């Protein structure tokens, strides 16, 4: 009788395909296709009174997957659960245990690998471990917190921000704090009062004709600075001028200009040179990869992570076979294995020369924050054999850009520091001093390969800047050739971009590697934020939602509280605190706010029986219904409650079923056409965009919503045609839409 095959379970079919090529014929590799269990959709699913116990159910639509896993498990000698090496992966591993018969449990082993290469996979199979209960409990705690807030607060939002098209309104533990940061920044910008100030820039000449640009820097030993606040009083100015000097108006600038133009005793009063080192940047973690990809490649975090997932799970490299090109892309650790560092040092010496190789390997582990999951490495290439040039022909343009970015950042992190020399020249005439600074690169070091992109902020050339002529000496006479006054105004704080918002969240301890891309996507998809020139601007809906949440849940929609909860979830993962303690810490202030809000919530009285109209979610979306049902069947739309017209919006067409009028309705998945006689007549019709499906060329494109409320575009002939896109189709000559990956989100 043939020996039973061992079963390896992973999340995604593409990951299964890659691993299958590494392990041989004695294994069967199967995908769970993401989570297989979740909280119920139609109720809270958490027993708050009994230890916050969650009720996890098999996800609808996963029946065939679960049946297949059970069948394969029963025939296998060993069951290796090889889901991703993080909390979500650990939770899926526990889901596998929960769906299998208890007789199968003793056969289950957990295997972890940080990269999907033949060596890493086979090494992991030789060294199986047990499922980490602490990580599982931490994931469950996070899920329970998020469900309680979403389930309890979102209905309040639907009441407080009544909007006939508000089917996607939602609150979230982290997304709402991100929205708050954006709205508060917008308030700062709106309230900002610009302050006028001036600068004076001179061009000096030496007796040999060399020119030097310098900026007025000091007056009477007091450095010229910006006024510290707008609309300063006389007392404020008096205090400011004790130690500083400001050119606060055109009149002041003109007076100083006339004084300076009359002077003829300009001379170099000081020349200083300072050598400095610029160290390479650490290897990527999830957040820095998303930030740098946004800045350098103009990619949204969600797209960056989708491409990184593809590089991690495996790319077909022709004769090399399918190979994982990068390590696991959800990590907050900068740790690197000694083996890959040695490989990088050998590569640097051969490619760039020993002058670019530091005496010792560079380590960035000290930069890891507390509670980092240090079992992971940083995001890096799996092998230096696969240079960007080697893999380019096997990658599409976007994949290549992300891979090249990761490759260069990793190699550069092990290169020698750059050496810079900054020369500052001061030119004085009596109590007035100009200054010019220039920087020379003595040795480019890691910058020969990589330079981080920065956001464009502030004024450039604050100290004159430019080239410093050679041969200058102290006391050397200088002639004033030109003097120009420049008017400036202080600028408001910059709006967040996705990259700066991720950094702000990370700096505040909010969110984790697996959540940043989702947070960015959610607040845009919900219509709370729109992007203009990559800047994140709150919409009127976003401002309204934020105002309601901050007013009514100040203790929850709060940076410090959210960061504290993140820390406590990390402590659970590390086995340093308990599930129940963390949930109690969270639930106490939350339920206090919620009860106060509910007590003050204005009741909506049924005009037919005097009962109360409660918010309900039905087949066609949200509506209000009398709580005396079935004795009273009064229902009202959100639009009616909001004070809109009771008159439905007619289409001008008739119902093909009963010949009544048809009206526009708003449902769970967007706008549609229905019969005015509903529920007596259940006719419905989707609204198309008036363009042919680009895939089958027969159906028409319609707007739909995922179960999470995100808008996408699909074919009205689904399931016969499975066309789906996150962006509206465009003519073929224009940029093609971004396709939906089935593993990203259920819809």
Contact 709, 617 (CB under 8 A): no
Eight-state DSSP code of residue 735: P
Q: How many CA atoms lie within 13 A of 272 on its CB side?
A: 9
Alpha helices in 321-427 (DSSP H): 338-352, 388-391, 397-413
CA-to-CA distance for 293 and 305, rounded, in angstroms?
A: 10
- Whether 149 and 556 have beta carbons less than 8 Å apart is answered as yes
> Residue 15 corresponds to which tokens in the numbers above?
């990951």
Strands 46-47 and 53-54: antiparallel
CA distances from 487 to 37, 223, 250, 254, 456 (A): 63, 18, 7, 11, 20
**Pair 56, 49: CB distance under 8 Å:** no
Cβ contact 154:534 at 8 Å: no
Cα distance between residue 6 and residue 26, in whole Å? 6
Q: Measure the CA angle with vertex 168, ends 165 and 172; round to 5°.
A: 145
Q: Quick one: tokens of 647?
A: 């008159």
Which residues are known to be catalytic? 328
Question: Does residue 345 sit in helix, strand or coil?
Answer: helix
> Secondary structure of the chain: what % helix, strand, coil (to 5)?
35, 25, 40
Q: Please say whether the beta carbons of 698 and 709 come within 8 A.
A: no
CA distance 16 to 7: 11
**530 phi-psi bin (left φ>0, alpha ψ -120 to 50, beta other):** beta
Q: Which helix (H) or strand (E) holds 136?
A: helix 133-160
Of 730, 695, 734, nearest to 715 (Cα)?
695
- Identify the burial level of 397 via C-beta atoms within 10 angstroms of its C-beta, where 0-12 means exposed, 13-18 middle and 19 or more buried: exposed
Cis peptide preceding 630, ω within 30 of 0: yes
Structure tokens at 226: 């910006």
Q: Are 139 and 126 in contact (CB under 8 A)?
A: no
Tokens of 331: 């990590």
């Amino acid at each position: 009788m043939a020996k039973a095959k061992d079963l390896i379970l992973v999340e995604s079919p593409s990951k299964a395909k890659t691993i299958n090529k590494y392990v041989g014929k004695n294994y069967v590799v199967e995908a769970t296709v993401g989570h297989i269990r979740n909280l119920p959709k139609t109720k809270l699913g958490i027993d708050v009174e009994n230890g916050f116990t969650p009720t996890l159910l098999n996800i609808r639509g996963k029946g065939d997957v679960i049946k297949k896993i059970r069948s394969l498990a029963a025939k296998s000698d060993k069951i290796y659960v090889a889901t991703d090496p993080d909390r979500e992966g650990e939770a899926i591993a526990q889901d596998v245990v929960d769906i299998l018969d208890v007789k199968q449990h003793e056969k289950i082993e957990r295997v972890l690998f940080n990269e999907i290469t033949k060596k890493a996979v086979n090494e992991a199979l030789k060294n199986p471990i047990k499922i980490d209960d602490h990580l599982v409990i931490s994931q469950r705690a996070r899920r329970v917190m998020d469900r309680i807030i979403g389930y309890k607060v979102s209905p309040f939002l639907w009441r407080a921000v009544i909007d006939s098209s508000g089917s996607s309104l939602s609150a979230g533990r982290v997304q709402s704090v991100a929205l708050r940061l954006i709205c508060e920044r917008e308030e700062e910008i709106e309230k900002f009062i610009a302050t006028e100030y001036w600068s004076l820039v001179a061009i000096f000449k030496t007796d040999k004709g060399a020119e030097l640009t310098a900026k007025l820097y000091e007056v009477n030993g007091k450095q010229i600075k910006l006024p510290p606040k707008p609309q300063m009083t006389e007392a404020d100015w008096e205090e400011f001028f004790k130690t500083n000097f400001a050119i606060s108006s055109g009149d002041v600038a003109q007076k100083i200009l006339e004084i300076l133009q009359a002077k003829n005793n300009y001379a170099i009063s000081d020349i200083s040179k300072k050598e400095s080192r610029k160290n390479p940047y650490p290897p990527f973690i999830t957040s820095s990869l998303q930030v740098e990809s946004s800045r350098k490649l103009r990619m949204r975090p969600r797209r960056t992570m989708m491409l990184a997932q593809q590089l991690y799970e495996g790319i077909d490299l022709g004769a090399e076979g399918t190979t994982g090109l990068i390590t696991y892309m959800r990590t907050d650790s900068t740790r690197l294995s000694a083996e890959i560092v040695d490989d990088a040092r050998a590569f640097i010496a051969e490619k760039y020369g020993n002058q670019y190789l530091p005496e010792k390997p560079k380590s960035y582990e000290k930069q890891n924050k507390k509670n980092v999951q240090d079992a992971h490495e940083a995001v890096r290439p799996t092998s230096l054999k696969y240079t960007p040039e080697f893999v380019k022909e096997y990658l599409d343009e976007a994949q290549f850009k992300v891979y090249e970015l990761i490759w260069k950042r990793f190699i550069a992190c092990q290169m020698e520091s750059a050496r810079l020399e900054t020369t500052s020249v001061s030119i004085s005439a009596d109590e007035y001093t100009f200054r010019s600074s220039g920087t020379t690169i003595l040795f480019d070091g890691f910058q020969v390969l990589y330079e981080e992109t920065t956001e464009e902020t502030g004024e450039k050339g604050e100290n004159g800047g430019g080239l410093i002529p050679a041969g200058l000496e102290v006391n050397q006479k200088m002639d004033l050739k030109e003097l120009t006054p420049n008017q400036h105004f202080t600028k408001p704080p910059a709006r967040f971009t996705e990259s700066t918002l991720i950094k702000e969240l990370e700096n505040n301890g909010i969110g984790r590697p697996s959540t940043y891309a989702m947070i960015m996507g959610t607040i845009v998809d919900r219509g709370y934020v729109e992007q203009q020139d990559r800047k994140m601007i709150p919409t009127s809906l976003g401002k309204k939602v934020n105002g309601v949440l901050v007013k009514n849940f100040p203790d929850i929609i709060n940076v410090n509280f959210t960061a504290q909860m993140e820390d406590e979830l990390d402590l659970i993962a590390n086995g340093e605190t308990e599930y129940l303690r963390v949930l109690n810490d969270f639930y106490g202030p939350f339920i206090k706010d919620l009860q106060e809000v509910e007590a003050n919530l204005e009741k909506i009285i049924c005009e037919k029986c005097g009962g109360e109209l409660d918010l309900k979610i039905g087949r066609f979306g949200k509506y209000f219904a009398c709580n005396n049902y079935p004795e009273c069947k009064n229902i009202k739309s959100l639009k009616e409650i909001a004070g809109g017209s009771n008159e439905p919006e007619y289409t001008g067409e008739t119902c093909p079923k009963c010949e009544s009028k048809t009206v526009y309705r708003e449902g769970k998945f967007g706008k549609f056409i229905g019969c005015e006689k509903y529920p007596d007549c259940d006719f419905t019709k989707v609204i198309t965009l008036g363009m042919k499906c680009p895939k089958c060329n027969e159906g028409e494109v319609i707007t739909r919503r995922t179960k999470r409320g995100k808008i996408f575009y699909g074919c009205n002939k689904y399931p016969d045609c499975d066309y789906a896109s996150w962006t509206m189709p465009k003519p073929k000559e224009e940029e093609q839409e971004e396709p939906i990956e089935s593993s990203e989100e259920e819809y």
